[in-house]
Chains A and B, each alone.
Chain A
């Protein structure tokens, strides 16, 4: 069983990112880069799946600059055996379609090099920065694989894959052939932490670097010039003004005061 987990390095999602009015860009300066949370769930689910006694390996890949190697290293410390960074000026400014195209080229190229197709290509359902959720489904189209979204667990049964898909009121069990693309939702556990030993081991593992030429990506299919969706501008959402703050010793008095303002405002 060969599993590819696609990850993206994003700014720490516990930090509130707002528009920097002076640059017109998101205020990500100084915010620690982390692996997108949904991608860490994909990796953890893949690792747990293999730990059920299935022989196999996890490869992880990201598109990004030199910097994103640290995120791949983090993945190598918590279950992945191989890591790659897709890096080329050509990829700059790609929209989701250009990204999915390049990832598709890379998945095929690595499969050829490592001697065998990936059975599962796993992505997080969306990233905390773009929150568009397009890359996984588009990657499935690019590769011509089947797709199951909102995955919270997987199991191999009689040679096929049974995937637990979260729904609004419960879950589905979906049978899918392999190869397939899966997108991970949040399972009811946290991903494992690396140990000192696994961190040390990850530090020594090589990380492959792939350029557009390495994966045979065409310049008319990826990067800014091929982008079908163009950003016009970023804007700050309308601000809401804070109203009255009641801070009093006597909580009953404070409550009654608030309550009378509410009745005066006719909101009850």
Chain B
């Protein structure tokens, strides 16, 4: 088996690693064989994220103290680190910033780049990366022919490995920014969505689609979610109608989720939505149209008006939970 040195760039927000950060350490270890897995963290406050990286399997952590790390800085810093340490693979999380960073980094260092990887296979010929096409209805297996390979890893595609002792070296690196590295400037940052919606870690998700009919009826989804301790999901048409914020969106342009139970009320099952929830363990769907594509993936399908089924479910769940 080939040994490869793998860099894992762990993006942070307020000093903490983003969800996909530690998740990448599992495929990184697999790709490394007997090689070294090194996490790279670019943040003024890197202690927490660095320790987490060591707990979840990094052999070492390179930290670069940098006040703000917009993708522009990240590209410059990762380019310098790649030149200094010569990794064989650079893994980056498929976040909006990561999807900007990876192709630029790859172009700068002359590496091949694959985005949104959700599986990998180590073969004698090299690593085979799997990435979705057409929003996930087809999978493409690809290989990268350059010495350095840059990939982005989709959030939730890999589970975090076992937590271990945080042993390993932390290597602080000096940042030397070149003039002209940073051309753009964020002059204002506005938070419009203040609620914290954690669809990716939810055990139960109750989603409403346009089949709920009205905004008022859609809001009742929350009641069932409260009884079940579930998170509310929504389809794109619901977001576009303004019934809820896009933080709730499940699907290709929203969150890819994999709860134990997914209940869909009034969701017809557009490809872009199915892609986002097909990894759920158990799927229940309610829709008036008996030919709705959502039924093709549902463990239980109820043909009927979602508005009428919802209150019955709420009542039954209350009885079950004794609330």
| The residue from A18, A148, A267 contacting B282, defined by CB atoms under 8 A apart | A267
- Find the B residue at minimum CB distance from A148: B184
Chain B residues closer than 8 Å to A137, beta-carbon distance: 99-100, 102-104, 107
B192 touching A171, Cβ below 8 Å? yes
Give bound CA distance, A128 to B136, whole Å.
10
B104 touching A147, Cβ below 8 Å? yes
Interface residues of A in 12-71 (CB under 8 A from B): 13, 16-19, 26
Give bound CA distance, A95 to B145, whole Å.
12
A175 touching B140, Cβ below 8 Å? no
- Give the segment of B44-52, B81-89, B168-176, B311-319 that binds chain A: B311-319
The bracket for how many chain A residues form the interface is 35 or more
Closest beta carbon of chain A to B315's beta carbon, Å: 10
Chain B residues closer than 8 Å to A268, beta-carbon distance: 228, 261, 317, 320
Within 8 Å of chain B (Cβ to Cβ): is A220? no
Interface residues of A in 217-268 (CB under 8 A from B): 227-237, 240, 242-248, 251-252, 254-256, 258-259, 261-263, 265, 267-268
The 0/1 profile, CB within 8 Å of A marked 1, for residues 175-199 of chain B is 0000000011111111111100000
B189 touching A243, Cβ below 8 Å? no
B282 touching A26, Cβ below 8 Å? no
Chain B residues closer than 8 Å to A240, beta-carbon distance: 278, 283, 296-297
The 0/1 profile, CB within 8 Å of A marked 1, for residues 103-117 of chain B is 110111001111110
The tally of residues in B whose CB lies under 8 Å from a CB in A reads: 80
Within 8 Å of chain A (Cβ to Cβ): is B1? no
- Find the B residue at minimum CB distance from A244: B300
Within 8 Å of chain A (Cβ to Cβ): is B128? yes
B185 touching A130, Cβ below 8 Å? no
Chain B residues closer than 8 Å to A13, beta-carbon distance: 135
A interface majority secondary structure: mixed
Chain B residues closer than 8 Å to A95, beta-carbon distance: 112
Chain B residues closer than 8 Å to A170, beta-carbon distance: 189-193
B103 touching A19, Cβ below 8 Å? no
Give bound CA distance, A236 to B192, whole Å.
39
Give bound CA distance, A263 to B320, whole Å.
9
Give bound CA distance, A97 to B71, whole Å.
19
| The residue from A19, A26, A230 contacting B143, defined by CB atoms under 8 A apart | A230
The 0/1 profile, CB within 8 Å of B marked 1, for residues 142-162 of chain A is 100011111000000000001
Within 8 Å of chain A (Cβ to Cβ): is B167? no
Closest beta carbon of chain B to A52's beta carbon, Å: 19
A131 touching B112, Cβ below 8 Å? no
B312 touching A138, Cβ below 8 Å? no
| The residue from A141, A169, A186, A236 contacting B139, defined by CB atoms under 8 A apart | A236
A243 touching B139, Cβ below 8 Å? no
| The residue from B108, B111, B296, B304 contacting A228, defined by CB atoms under 8 A apart | B111
Chain A residues closer than 8 Å to B192, beta-carbon distance: 169-171
User: How many interface contacts (CB-CB < 8 Å) are there between A and B?
Assistant: 239
Chain B residues closer than 8 Å to A237, beta-carbon distance: 132, 136-139, 278
Within 8 Å of chain A (Cβ to Cβ): is B305? yes
A174 touching B185, Cβ below 8 Å? yes
A132 touching B115, Cβ below 8 Å? yes
Chain A residues closer than 8 Å to B2, beta-carbon distance: none
Within 8 Å of chain A (Cβ to Cβ): is B7? no
Give bound CA distance, A146 to B70, whole Å.
13
Give bound CA distance, A113 to B247, whole Å.
46
| The residue from A175, A229, A262 contacting B142, defined by CB atoms under 8 A apart | A229
Within 8 Å of chain A (Cβ to Cβ): is B159? no
- Find the A residue at minimum CB distance from B188: A173
B187 touching A255, Cβ below 8 Å? no
When A172-B189, A173-B186, A247-B303 are in contact, do A96 and B142 touch as well, CB less than 8 Å?
no
Give bound CA distance, A174 to B140, whole Å.
35
- Find the A residue at minimum CB distance from B144: A229
B184 touching A175, Cβ below 8 Å? yes
| The residue from B99, B194, B253, B317 contacting A186, defined by CB atoms under 8 A apart | B253
B300 touching A262, Cβ below 8 Å? yes
- Find the B residue at minimum CB distance from A188: B240
Within 8 Å of chain B (Cβ to Cβ): is A140? yes
B184 touching A176, Cβ below 8 Å? yes
Interface centre among B115, B133, B139, B282 (most CB of A within 10 A): B133
When A95-B112, A170-B189, A173-B188 are in contact, do A234 and B300 touch as well, CB less than 8 Å?
no
The 0/1 profile, CB within 8 Å of A marked 1, for residues 66-82 of chain B is 00000110000000000
Which A-B residue pairs are the 5 nearest by beta carbons? A228-B112, A146-B183, A141-B107, A170-B192, A243-B299
Return 8 A-B CB contacts under 8 Å, by A number.
A133-B99, A134-B106, A137-B102, A148-B184, A229-B113, A244-B299, A246-B303, A248-B303
